[in-house]
């Protein structure tokens, strides 16, 4: 026990000697401080980004269940040839931006999803805000077969301005 203690003491002693040697090199310390600060900033930003993603995802899931799941189902499977699937959809993969318009303004006319024909109008949900659309999109595009990453509001805003409706 005492040997461990004395080893520890030696170690502390060595560390403090090193420390005092280093305090004599202020520029080195300044450099380290800046590097450390930059590293912390980078880390902090990563965390903020992750938190934002989590928030959008969780909100998006709630909104999806409330607004979409009665047709597309909770598990996104859709329903036969009436409601197209969104858990695995080549249409969604190829038309990320058009999906924002579909949510807000609806869609009618024939469409083909994974080789199957669907043709029943979907009513848009006009009351959805741009934030809500970004949240739902972040949820549906990062669940099941999709890994699209965060969908930002700015992207939704830009695309909604281009919808045909
Ligand atoms: C009342 C039923 C209903 C609701 C509610 C509904 N949809 Fe749809 N959705 C449809 C139908 C029907 C189509 C096919 C439209 C067509 O045939 O032109 C469709 C098409 C789609 C498509 C494109 C086709 C595909 O499967 O990739 C997406 C994406 C989609 N809906 C997402 C949503 C989202 C997200 C919500 C909630 C914000 C939602 N829908 C709410 C019925 C609905």
How far is Cα 81 from Cα 61, in angstroms, rounded to an integer?
A: 24
Specify the CATH number for the domain of residue 128. 1.10.760.10
DSSP-H helix ranges across the chain: 2-22, 26-67, 69-72, 90-94, 96-105, 130-140, 153-160
The finding on whether 62 has its CB within 6 A of some atom of ligand 1 is no
Q: Is residue 6 included in any domain, yes or no?
A: no
The finding on whether 134 has its CB within 6 A of some atom of ligand 1 is no
Q: Is residue 94 included in any domain, yes or no?
A: yes
- Number of domains making up the chain: 1
What contacts 87, CB < 8 A, 6 or more positions away? 75, 76, 77, 78, 143, 144, 145
The finding on whether 125 has its CB within 6 A of some atom of ligand 1 is yes
Q: Is residue 38 included in any domain, yes or no?
A: no
Dist. CA 120 → ligand 1 center (Å): 9
The finding on whether 57 has its CB within 6 A of some atom of ligand 1 is no
Q: Is residue 66 included in any domain, yes or no?
A: yes
What does each of the 165 residues of the chain score in pLDDT, given as a tens digit?
Answer: 444 445 545 444 554 555 555 555 777 777 787 876 777 676 666 777 899 999 999 999 999 999 999 999 999 999 999 999 999 999 999 999 999 999 999 999 999 999 999 999 999 999 999 999 999 999 999 999 999 999 999 999 999 999 986
Q: Is residue 156 included in any domain, yes or no?
A: yes
How far is Cα 71 from Cα 82, in angstroms, rounded to an integer?
A: 9
């Amino acid at each position: 026990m005492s040997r461990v203690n004395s080893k520890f003491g030696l170690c502390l002693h060595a560390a403090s000697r090193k420390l005092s040697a280093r305090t004599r090199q202020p520029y080195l310390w300044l450099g380290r401080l800046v590097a450390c600060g930059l590293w912390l900033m980078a880390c902090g930003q990563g965390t903020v980004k992750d938190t934002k993603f989590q928030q959008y995802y969780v909100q998006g899931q709630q909104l999806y269940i409330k607004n979409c799941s009665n047709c597309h189902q909770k598990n996104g499977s859709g329903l036969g040839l009436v409601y197209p699937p969104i858990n695995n959809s080549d249409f969604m993969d190829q038309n990320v931006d058009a999906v924002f318009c579909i949510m807000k303004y609806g869609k009618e006319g024939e469409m083909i999803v994974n080789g199957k024909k669907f043709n029943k109008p979907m009513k848009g949900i006009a009351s959805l805000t741009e934030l809500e659309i970004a949240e739902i999109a972040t949820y549906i595009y990062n669940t099941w077969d999709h890994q699209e990453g965060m969908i930002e509001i700015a992207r939704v805003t830009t695309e909604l301005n281009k919808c045909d409706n």
